[in-house]
Amino acid sequence: MADTLAVNLNERSYEISFAQEQSAALREIVTQLRAAGRKIVVITDANLAKHQPDFLEQAVGDAPRLVFEAGESTKSLESLGLAWDFLAAQRVDRSGVVIAVGGGVIGDLAGFVAASWLRGVDFYQVPTTLLAMVDSSVGGKTGINLAAGKNLVGAFHQPRGVFIATGLLNSLPPREFAAGMAEVIKYGLLGDAALFARLEKSPLTVDSADLPQVIKRCCAIKAGIVQADERETAKEGGRALLNLGHTFGHAIEQVSGYGVYLHGEAVAIGLVAAAQLSRKLGHVSQSDAARIETVLQAHHLPVRLREPLAVGELMAAAARDKKVRAGLPRFVIMQALGTAVTRDGIEPALVRECFAGIGAVE
């Protein structure tokens, strides 16, 4: 039987459903929507279509599908245009429903398609990677990347429901599972010291008995933050805390070229840089920073750039980050392991040092 978690946002409230298997629950939703005369379309990726064809068939049946190649490069203007043309060809009206079945890339893209089609239609999130389950499928942030920066174009558009089927993780490639662990570790660092301690004790794997509980805990942390600051407008803290490691990580993704690093891999390196920044500002110790690197490495994540990138290019990318305020980058730092705050006015020299600390060159 499915476990549930509510995301309370007044008329935009919805439930996250957790179970080993979700195809029957999804098929019931599809049946109900069709009985109400609503057109359903599915946006998914080629990897899922190849490795989980039975799940797709059982969950959405013969609903029209648009299949994209997996990878960050799919979050593009070109893909957005193809998706709009697909919805037009399927004659999706304002009662139509988009179902996103895939990882974070598909969820972000399909969510923005739903947000922008006819000024907004309903959509459901069916995350199939660990990263999407613990982070990107919850909270209603949708968008695509531009050459100028990651997620610069998008919308806040809450799903009508999120269906997490943990059994799908059994076919997830190890590198993708590791990438999702970067976000799990992030949640421990920003808001749950006990979670971080659990990850220090032993690596979380797809076979860990407590994996479903950890996934739900991450979703609960995010739901609480989103409920308090849905559109990231808080002057301090708020939803911006979820970006711990991301200002550095997004810069790495952009400068290296989308797809060189998986999002979680870039975030992992970004967490190391954020730990260094927190240490330089006098909040965490060198031993704490080392503990963060140890946990990341235990979960098969990188802690340094694989190839050097130019500090100047990374600084320029950070300056274009969507979290910039009054022309200045905004960073999330750790006050301690398990507690994070937002900070403006960081000296650029300190940021340069942190980029150099992860292997960037002047």
| pLDDT tens for the chain, residues 1 to 362 | 679 999 999 999 999 999 999 999 999 999 999 999 999 999 999 999 888 999 999 999 999 999 999 899 999 999 999 999 999 999 999 999 999 999 999 999 999 999 999 999 999 999 999 999 999 999 999 999 998 888 999 999 999 999 999 999 999 999 999 999 999 999 999 999 999 999 999 999 999 999 999 999 999 999 999 999 999 988 888 999 999 999 999 999 999 998 899 999 999 999 999 999 999 999 999 999 999 999 999 999 999 999 999 999 999 999 887 666 666 678 999 999 999 999 988 999 999 999 999 999 98
Q: Is 299 a catalytic residue?
A: no
Residue of 75, 150, 157, 246 with catalytic role:
246
Specify the number of domains making up the chain: 2
Look at residues 171, 188, 205 and tell me which one is the last residue of a structural domain: 171
Residue of 75, 263, 280, 299 with catalytic role:
263
Q: Which helix (H) or strand (E) holds 42?
A: strand 40-45
Beta carbons of 185 and 271 less than 8 angstroms apart: yes
Residue of 198, 217, 222, 283 with catalytic role:
222
Q: Is 300 a catalytic residue?
A: no
As beta bridge partners, residue 211 has: none
Q: Is 239 a catalytic residue?
A: yes
Q: Is 222 a catalytic residue?
A: yes
Residue of 39, 75, 141, 216 with catalytic role:
141
pLDDT for position 204: 98
In three-state secondary structure terms, 349 is helix
Q: Does 362 fall in a domain?
A: no
Residues 180 and 68 in one domain: no
- For 279-299, letters b (16+ CB in 10 Å) and e give bbbebbeeebbebbbebbeeb
Q: Which helix (H) or strand (E) holds 78?
A: helix 77-89
Q: Does 246 fall in a domain?
A: yes
Sign, CA dihedral 78-80-85-86, equals: positive
Residues 89 and 65 in one domain: yes
Residue of 183, 230, 253, 265 with catalytic role:
183
Q: Is 293 a catalytic residue?
A: no
Q: What is the dihedral of CA 73, 78, 81, 86, to 10 degrees?
A: -70
Range of the domain at 73: 3-171
Q: Is 250 a catalytic residue?
A: yes
Residues 211 and 89 in one domain: no
pTM of the predicted model, to two decimals?
Answer: 0.95
Q: Does 199 fall in a domain?
A: yes
Pairing of strands 97-102, 40-45: parallel
Question: According to DSSP H, which parts of 90-166 are helical?
Answer: 104-116, 130-131
CATH of the domain at 15: 3.40.50.1970
